[in-house]
Structures are given as C-alpha cells and as structure tokens.
C-alpha cells in the first residue's frame, strides 16, 4: 500500500486499462515502452482502495472493477498515452482506457484521449520561447523600417535634383 501511495503522490495523472486479454509478455512490452517517469502496475482493487482512501485520488474508485493495469504518470502525459497506444498496435490488441484521474477529477475514456492530445510541457515551452524570440526580431524590423524609408526618400530626392 505504501508503494502505491508513493506512486500516487508523485503522479500528475493516473489512468487504467483492463488486463483482460493481455499476456505477461504484452504487459512487459507496454512497461518497457513507457517514457521515464511513468510506471505501469497491476494493483489489486483492495490495495488500491486502501491507497486512495482519504486522498485526492479517491475519484478513481469507480474504476476499481476487475483486473486493471494502472499507469502512474509523473510528467509526460502525452508521451505516456501515445506510447501505450503504440504498444497496443504493436501487440495487435485494442484495450481501451477505462478512465483516469487528474487533480482529483475522474476522466472518462474520451477525456483521457483529449488530455493526451494536448501539447506537452516541452512543446508549450518551445512555443513560448519561439514567441519570445520573435518579438525582438519584429521590433528590430519596425525600428529599422522608418530609417530605411527615409534613406530611400533622400536618395530619390537627390537623384531627381541631379537629373
């Protein structure tokens, strides 16, 4: 129970898929394909109930039915979900996500999929950095533009006088 509580405390999101139809080899393939910071564990429902009791993760209790593979995601939500999908394609099975939880809110399978489609932190930081870098470039163009227009006008005026 302590190990599961530790996983929950380090996680931003958890989601669950049914173990039905997955072999030990398939589960190992899924575990090995996950990005760093994501853990996949099969946890008995009674242990999971004890681990979530009195925590923000109590929202996952409706998902505690049958044998499930739980994913504890510390950081890379998008990477974890896409790596799971890739592993399932490689195995040739389609185990749909049962649901998940972020910040104490239960997510249905569609919502988990939508969260997986959001840009990752790295992608957002790259977009912000690109936007910040673009500002000085645009500012330099704007500041330089009047001077170059003035220079062209003076050049034209001097050319007209010399003719």
Contacts of 70 (CB under 8 A, 6+ apart): 14, 15, 16, 40, 41, 42, 43, 48
Tens-binned pLDDT, residue by residue, of the chain (163 aa)? 889 898 988 988 999 999 888 888 888 999 999 999 999 999 899 999 999 988 889 989 999 998 899 999 998 888 889 899 998 888 888 778 899 999 888 998 898 888 888 877 777 888 888 878 777 776 666 666 666 776 777 777 777 776 6
- pLDDT score recorded for residue 70: 93
| Whole-angstrom distance, CA of residue 64 vs CA of residue 37 | 23
| Helix, strand, coil in percent for the chain, rounding step 5 | 60, 15, 25
pTM of the model: 0.72
- pLDDT score recorded for residue 140: 67
């Amino acid at each position: 129970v302590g190990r599961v509580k530790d996983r929950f405390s380090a996680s931003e999101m958890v989601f669950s898929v049914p173990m039905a139809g997955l072999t030990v080899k398939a589960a190992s393939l899924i575990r090995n394909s996950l990005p760093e910071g994501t853990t996949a564990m099969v946890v008995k429902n009674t242990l999971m109930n004890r681990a979530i009791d009195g925590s923000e993760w109590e929202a996952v209790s409706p998902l505690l039915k049958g044998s499930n593979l739980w994913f504890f995601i510390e950081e890379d939500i998008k990477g974890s979900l896409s790596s799971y999908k890739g592993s399932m394609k490689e195995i040739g099975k389609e185990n749909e996500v049962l649901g998940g939880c972020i910040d104490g809110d239960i997510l249905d399978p569609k919502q988990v999929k939508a969260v997986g489609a959001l840009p990752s932190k790295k992608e957002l930081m790259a977009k912000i950095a690109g936007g910040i870098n673009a500002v000085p470039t645009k500012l330099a163009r704007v500041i330089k533009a009047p001077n170059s227009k003035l220079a062209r006008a003076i050049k034209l005026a001097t050319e007209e006088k010399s003719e």
